[in-house]
Amino acid sequence: MKKIAQIALLLLATLSMVKAQESPKEEDFYKIITPPIPEGIILEVGGLITLPNGSLGISTRRGEVWIVDNPTSRTPYFRKFATGLHEILGLAYKDGFLYCAQRGELTKLIDKNGDGKADIYETVHAWALSGHYHEYSFGPKVAPDGSFFVSGNVAFGDEEWWRGESRVPGRGWIFRITPDGKYEPYATGVRSPAGISMIKGELWYTDNQGDWMGTGGIFPVKKGGFMGHPAGLKWAESPNSPVKLTEKQFFGERDNRQERDANNRAIKPENTRNETPQFLYQLKEKYDMVQLPAVWLPYGVHGVSTAELIMDETNGDFGPFTGQVFVGDQGQSNIMRVVLEKVKGEYQGASIGFRSGFQSGVLRMTFAKDGSMFVGETNRGWGSAGDANQGLQRLVWNGKMPFEMYTVKAMPDGFEIEFTLPVDRKSAEDLDSYKVSSYLYKHYPVYGSPQIDTKDVTVKGVKLSEDGKKVRIVLDGMRQYFVHKIQLEGVRAAGNYWSLVHPDAYYTLNNIPDGEKLKVSELKTTRSGKVKATVTAPVKEHVSPDGKGKEPAPASTKTATAKKAPTWEEVKPLLAKNTCLACHATDKKVVGPSYIDVAKRKYSDAKIVELIYAPKPENWPDYATPMPAMPQVSKGDALKIAAWINSLSKK
């Protein structure tokens, strides 16, 4: 009995040691706090700003403006400042006054008698609306010269809901309102520009996946710039337009708008498999006003509905990332960290995961006076991974240092990664600790794009700095304009042997820097064979008919039947690869219905496959965001997914 007790104690001690050595997670460094909100207040945050006195300004999609005094205390005080406005999706402060972007105007809110409520709602400028529900207006953001920037969503097409249209001036544009209230078109090519931002006095915006937008992206904006979506080019030849690209140039020989529209309507998702791939960088090489994103965000991995950008200016109160940028995502209820640099005069950089688990869709963020981050949330009509319809939450750093990639910088022969903590030398000098691949997105009129032309990139060697905080990864096969997925599954922290909280970085390589390359004699090239970095299976490709590029292999024309339904472990990589998990979960509603709810419909496997390629939104009237066609899903993957979904009905 005594020996059994000793063995039990030894096992408990061993389990305790294993638990102590487990790598910390996001929540071990950044805590989500939900402040008390008085009963009856529904925020649905559309705008969020920290005022000079530390109070919080909140605008809502329901047309209200709230001021929250002492927002970081246990008893914040909420007071309604303005009401009766139209879907306020942004809030700004200038010279003692609040300004908001309603759907159709920039409004100045004035508290004339000093009672804490707005008495005067002054129209600074009103812009055109067609009345389409998707014509959201985002902003304003205050420029260094005191003017305001606003971005305008496109409307959707009558025949294809996903096809963006600019029915009135300003839709598909970023425009400027001068201090004296004059309207100036500034740049176009935007689709759903929910995150317009000023970073160090420079204008930025984020866009969302859709037609002509293969995935979400983060773009710097220059006057006269074109970011890729052609709807706004309808107004490019207006007298006050700074954009010099025309519809005729964009669509080539299609110089007749009616003919162009007819052609576009004929481009159905299922008919695009054999198109010649066209990438946004090819358009930039022809027209210098085309602006590439500084960062492409991997769809379904780092979000599905890109929201606002903010820069950390807390001087360390929010952790080690001062000067870096954070971007929220409304659909996946999470926040990513973005590391930017300029190479050959253009911005580029990496997206790295940061914090997930918010109660609703992350739309707006602002830093409080104490360095914590307030997060404004909403999901009504848009859907989100977080179950709540709305929310205001606060993200607080606990002072502990996470083991993360601090920066990722492009080098002439690879990348240099700096860490927040010194790394374990043996793991960092093992080439099997690394996995790099590259891919790109199509630029075409279908809703979204799969990852195109995915290739593994050979890691030739690494060089670790003396202090163990930087590693140079030398690669064979870097590709300009491509996203490079850098995986560090095997790298460990010195001492505690932690793995990275976020081991993956997605670097958009718009330019490869000039400079000296490392010599082979400087590199470590050993492989242990023990570390196996995981990589999402690449999309199968074939050479396009003209031989100029690659695209997803067409679906097989052969019919197939599943002998046995695949398991969750077998189907999960397929769902992840095809971005299905961005909008669906097994047992709960996200943007779309749960897979269990789909199984309850008792569709045949063949019917589910048919609905993957040609969804019928009318089948799910309770979901405001219709599912787009998914032509990139191979027939084999679709059949396996369908068989797995139907297997859920038996459980």
The Cα–Cα gap between 39 and 37 comes to 6
What is the DSSP code (8-state) at residue 213? B
Angle, alpha carbons 217-51-141 (nearest 5°): 35
Is 100 known as a binding-site position? no
In sequence order, which residues have a C-beta less than 8 Å from that of residue 521 and are 6 or more positions away? none
Query: Measuring CA to CA, which residue among 125, 112, 40 is closest to residue 82?
Result: 112
Grouping H, G, I as helix, E, B as strand and the rest as coil, residue 552 is strand
Distances (CA, A) of 326 to 28, 196, 364, 432: 19, 13, 11, 30
CA atoms within 13 A on the CB side of 521: 0
Query: Largest Cα–Cα distance in the chain?
Result: 93
Identify which of 305, 149, 304, 173 has the alpha carbon closest to the alpha carbon of residue 226: 173
Are the CB atoms for 272 and 551 separated by under 8 Å? no
**Quick one: DSSP state of residue 235?**
G
- Is residue 134 a known part of a binding site? no
d(CA 208, CA 332): 13
Between CA 553 and CA 29 the distance in angstroms is 43
Hey, how many other C-beta atoms are within 10 angstroms of the C-beta on 465?
A: 15
- Report d(CA 356, CA 266) in Å as an integer: 40
Look up residue 434 and give its two tokens.
Answer: 């690394």
SS3 399: coil
Distance CA 471, CA 429 (A): 9
Give residues with Cβ within 8 angstroms of 116, minimum separation 6: 67, 79, 81
Residue 584 counted as an annotated binding residue: yes
Strands of 398-464 (E only): list them: 405-411, 414-419, 435-441, 451-464
Can you give the three-state secondary structure of 245-313, one letter per residue?
A: CCHHHHCCCCCCHHHHHHHHHHCCHHHCCCCCCCCHHHHHHHCCCECCCCEECCCCCCCCCEEEEEECC
Give the list of residues 6+ apart from residue 465 with CB closer than 8 angstroms, or none: 471
Whether the Cβ atoms of residue 162 and residue 444 lie closer than 8 Å to each other:
no
- Residue numbers belonging to the annotated binding site for heme c: 580, 584, 627
Q: Give the annotated binding-site residues.
A: 580, 584, 627
